[in-house]
Amino acid sequence: MKIINVHFEKQLYCLGLLIFITVNSFAQQGTGNANHKNTPEKQRYLISSLTSKRLQLRDQHMSPVTYFGGIIAPGFGMLKRKEKFFSEFSLNLALGSIQAKNGTELRPMRGDYFRIDMQYSYLRFVKNIANQRFRWYVGGKLKSHANVRLNEQLDTGFITFIFTNGLSLSSALERDINLFGRKMTLSYQLDLPVVTHVIRPNYLNIYNYIDPENDWLEERLRDSDWLLPGKFTSINSQISLTYPIKAGNMVRLSYGWEYYSLNNKLKARNASHDIALALLFNF
């Protein structure tokens, strides 16, 4: 897995927009007055999940080299569905390590990686499309992301981080399928950023946290930026298979691909492949 070249980012984001436009154009050919008949009037689920992430990142605040790592992210959340919409809240905590391929025994280029993701999405049913085989939803997602890296061997980047809070446009397709004699739901969701608030360190040396004249939080907020796509490009794509089990509970298996690129001041890029298993408890 290689970090996408910066010259390809605009084309990548345009491709995501093209998917939205294509789905929208295709939907206009569907049955505009079709009802969403496959979802009961109201459903609520508590979610417990475990995600395995294979990530790759490059951050000029930390080092000019690319780091790789595998992390595990337990999480929980809540899903609410009605006939015309669904909403989902999720919180994931991740802990792992990252390492550069060109590390040596004397300079291992290894560090600790901490990450928190909190998201809330709300999507409304638009119509059934493709001869009513797919249900189409459109909405938005609020996203908060924080990752912190600790690299003891780096004199100028011992602690590096990225904090982001933003609003994304979200679209989803769902289809009911029969597999092994059971009715399942296959879904695909794509998120593209609208605006993102980014907090980064503006220093390339060890920060004096104990100096009373230094106000770390005020300095970070003063140097933070509101960024539009282009300065902060983010794409989240996920395909899921949800399988019903006993007592109205469900199991959800998901594969996701995530990419973001910060092109403000010192650049940072992150990409990851995610495999998640979640239990949904009906209540």
How far is the C-alpha of 233 from the C-alpha of 194, rounded, in Å?
9
Q: What are phi and psi of 218, to 5 degrees?
A: -65, -40
- Ordered by start, the domain boundaries in the chain are 6-26+44-194+231-245+254-282
Tally Cβ neighbours within 10 Å of residue 156. 13
The set of residues, in sequence order, having a beta carbon less than 8 Å from that of 213 and lying 6+ positions away, is: none
Fold of 6-26+44-194+231-245+254-282: Lipocalin (2.40.128)
State the pLDDT at residue 207.
Answer: 57
State the pLDDT at residue 30.
Answer: 45
Give per-residue burial for 72-94: e unless 16+ CB within 10 Å, then b: ebebebbbebbeeebebbbbbeb
Q: Which positions of the chain have pLDDT values less than 50? A: 1-4, 6-8, 26-34
State the pLDDT at residue 74.
Answer: 97
pLDDT by residue (tens digit) across 155-172? 655 778 899 999 999 999
Tokens of 77: 């959340």
State the pLDDT at residue 277.
Answer: 97
State the pLDDT at residue 157.
Answer: 58
The set of residues, in sequence order, having a beta carbon less than 8 Å from that of 2 and lying 6+ positions away, is: 56
Residues 194, 237: contact at Cβ < 8 Å? no
State the pLDDT at residue 223.
Answer: 78
State the pLDDT at residue 63.
Answer: 76
State the pLDDT at residue 49.
Answer: 97
State the pLDDT at residue 7.
Answer: 47
